[in-house]
Amino acid sequence: MNQNRSKAFEQVLLAFICLSGLSFAFAVDDKLPERLDGVSIEEKLGQEIPLDVKFMDENGGLTSFDELLKDGDPIILTLNYSDCPGLCVAQLNGLVKGINEVGSFALGKDFKMVSLSINPREGRDRAAATKKKYAENLANHHRGAGWSFLVGAEPSIQQITKATGFNYTFDSKHNRYNHAAAAIFISPKGRITRYLYEVGFNPETLKMALIEAGEGKIGSPLDAFVLWCYHYDANENRYSANAKTILSITAGLFLTFGLIASLPFWISWRRSGATIGHATNAPVQITINESTSLSK
């Protein structure tokens, strides 16, 4: 029995030493891998992206963000490249799944999407093949024509990446780009309104971000009211209820309903007060019957 206890104690002690060693190793080596040096996203909310820079779409035509925004629809912008080994694939698959679950808005009708390749060597044929791969998984209420896959020269690409704060590097050894992933929401005026850092996109978060980017041009009045009651939580990467706003609304509604509920009693009190006042102020008339005699 004592031997078994001793052996069990030794196993626990060994496990503790191993875990302590791993924790120490992570604590000492807390630097990012060298390949991620220079990779980041610097949010530039409220700033306008270059609208007149020309790119080629998957059909071989020249376009610009000014042209894409002329219908007044907000844009979801992603920065990817077709030969990305993993992150771009996960992001675009997640985006397709997320917008498919947003039943109230339709791609190509209420909003557009743009996927700009950060690889200047990528041609329009490759972009067309990539679009086909993802667009065929769109739900029926979406229009594939509303999703543009753009390619362009490096100076043009960098104008957009710098304007959006999308910092990336090129790994010449492995012939790939090191980059982060974000869906960037652009208003009809070309202004950056939101960044969503997700791979599996929450449909409600997508909807709220689209309403925000639409600047009142998409969504119902109820959607606008709901957005007013919420705020974007950067730590959670989602929209959360604004307690202060909801408390103010609740207090206002409580006061309003209280006044409405008390209105009949107030009217009744006013009427009864007017009746009493009329009776009190009326002149008193005394009629003396001449046939009546007064006696002591």
Q: What CATH number did the domain enclosing 121 receive? A: 3.40.30.10
Looking at residue 243, its pLDDT comes to 43
On whether both 45 and 115 belong to a single domain, the answer is yes
On whether both 136 and 257 belong to a single domain, the answer is no
On whether both 173 and 260 belong to a single domain, the answer is no
On whether both 112 and 152 belong to a single domain, the answer is yes
Q: Using 50, 70 and 90 to split pLDDT, how confident is the model at 215?
A: confident
Check pLDDT > 60 for residue 66.
Answer: yes
pLDDT, mean of residues 179-205: 94
**Mean pLDDT of the residues in the chain:** 78
User: 101: part of which helix (H) or strand (E)?
Assistant: none
On whether both 258 and 175 belong to a single domain, the answer is no
Distance CA 199, CA 183 (A): 9
Nearest in space to 77 (alpha carbons), one of 95, 103, 58, 104: 95
Question: What one-character-per-residue DSSP string does 107-127 give?
Answer: BTTTBEEEEEES-TT--HHHH
pLDDT digits (tens, 9 = 90+) for 140-155: 999 999 999 999 999 9
On whether both 200 and 92 belong to a single domain, the answer is yes
Distance CA 79, CA 114 (A): 8
Secondary structure (3-state) at 96:
helix
On whether both 45 and 177 belong to a single domain, the answer is yes
On whether both 208 and 233 belong to a single domain, the answer is no
Whether 11 is in a domain gets the answer no
Tokens of 127: 């972009």
Domain count, the chain: 2
pLDDT, mean of residues 45-56: 97
Contacts with 41 (C-beta within 8 Å, 6 or more apart), sequence order: 164, 165, 166, 167, 180, 182, 195, 197
On whether both 146 and 260 belong to a single domain, the answer is no
Structural domain for 150, as ranges = 40-215
pLDDT digits (tens, 9 = 90+) for 249-296: 344 444 455 456 666 666 666 666 655 555 555 555 555 554 444 444
